[in-house]
Amino acid sequence: MVALASVVVAAGTVTGVLSALDDGRGGDEARPDVSGTPFLQPLPYLPDPSPSVTSGSPSPSASASAPKAKPSPTPSKSAATKPRTGPASVRLYRHGDSQVLDWVRANPDDPRRPLIESRIADRPAAVWFADYTPSTITARVRAVTSAGAAKGGVPVVVPYAIPDRDCGGASQGGAPDLGAYDGWIGKFAAGLGSREVVVILEPDAIAQSDCLSEGQRTARFDALARAGRVLKAANPEARVYFDAGHSDWNSPRKQAGLLRRAGAASAASSDGIFSNVSNFNRTADEVAYVRRTLAALGGPASLGAVIDTSRNGNGAPADGEWCDPAGRKLGQAPTLSTGEAGIDAYLWVKLPGESDGCRGRPGTFTPDYAYDLAR
C-alpha cells in the first residue's frame, strides 16, 4: 500500500480552485470556460516508526490492511468555539472569476444566493495553475498578480504541474519530465511581478512521494528546491510554501525530513510550509502539527506555515469519509493576520462548494453543498 493522504484530480478532467488554465485563447486570459478545483481527498498512509504518528483516513482505494480512522481528537476549548468567519483580511486578493461567482451572477433570485455570496463568493481563495502550457503560463500568472496589485491585495497562486503527479492516479499529468518542469516554473515565476504574492508550491508533491523510487524522489525534491529558488529570485516579495501534508498523514519528524531534502529549510527557496489543503482537520490540530514540523525542520526562525481552513469548521468526519462528507462547515475566514505565532495565514486553497465528486461532478461548483457548508 502506498503512503497517501490526498489526491488531486488534474486539469483536463477537473481544473483549479479559481483555476487559471489555458483554453487556447492565449494572451492575458486567466481563466478557461470551465473552472473547478483539483480536489484533494484524504487517503491512508504507512505508519512511521515514530510514536507520534496517528492513523490516517480510509478511502475507496485503501487496502484491507489500511489502518482504521480514529475520531478527531477532542478539541481544546479554543478549538471548539465557532470558527471566525468574519470579514477576511483586506490584504488578500479575491480573483474576479470563479465558478461560485458565475453561479451567483446567474442565479440572482435563488434563495441560497445571499448566504453563498456573502460566506463563500466574497472570500479570497487560491488560483490554481494545473496544466502544462509553457507558451501562455507567464501571461496567465501575470493576469492574476497584476490584478491583485491593482486592487492592493495579495494573490494566492498554486503551481501544480510536477511530473508523476498523483503517482499515476486520477490526477496524473503535469510536465513531461523534470527538465520541462524547470522551464515551466521559470515561465511561471516570470509572471509573479514584484509585489507580495503567496505561492502554494505543488500540493502533495512531498508528502505523497512514497510511490517514487529513491532516485526519483531525490530528483523531484531537487526540482522543488530549484523551483523555490527560482520563484523567490524572480520576485523577492513572493512567499513560497512547501507541502507538509496534514496532521493525519506523516509524523512531524518524517515530514520534516522530506521537506528538508526539498529545500524547505532554506530561506533562499522557502518561507515555510502549508498543510490541510482540501482536508477537514481542525485548525488547532494543524497549528500544533505545523509547529512541531517546523521545529523538526530547522532553518531560519522566519519560516512559518499557512493552513487551509476552507472546510474544517467542524473538523474531519470520525468515519474518515473524504468525499463531500455531510456535516462539514466553513472554517476560519482567509486572512494574513492569524494571531498565532508562526502561522502566517489561514487560506482557502480549496474553494468550498466545489465538489469532491459525490454531490456533484469532481471539481464543479455544487450549490446545495456550498449552502450546507455556509449555513
Of 268, 274, 258, 246, the residue nearest 156 (C-alpha): 274
Place of cell 456550498: 370
Sheet containing 304-308, strands listed edge to edge, beginning at the edge strand earlier in sequence: 127-129, 156-159, 197-201, 238-243, 272-275, 304-308, 343-347
Annotated catalytic residue: which of 164, 204, 243, 271?
A: 204
d(CA 76, CA 315): 12
Q: How many CA atoms lie within 13 A of 18 on its CB side?
A: 26
Residues 6+ apart with CB under 8 A from 122: 94
If you compute the radius of gyration of the chain from its CA atoms, what whole number of angstroms results? Answer: 19
Length of the chain: 375
d(CA 161, CA 203): 10
Distant-in-sequence contacts of 212-215, Cβ < 8 A, 24+ apart: 212/164, 212/167
d(CA 290, CA 306): 9
166 given a catalytic annotation? yes
- CB-based burial, 257-276: b 16+ in 10 Å, e otherwise: ebbbbbbbbbeebbbbbbbb
368 given a catalytic annotation? no
Cell of 120: 463563500
Annotated catalytic residue: which of 22, 166, 308, 372?
A: 166
356 given a catalytic annotation? yes
Place of cell 482557502: 348
Cell of 54: 496517528
**Helix, strand, coil abundance in the chain, percent, nearest 5:** 30, 10, 60
Place of cell 499515476: 168
Residues marked as catalytic: 166, 204, 356
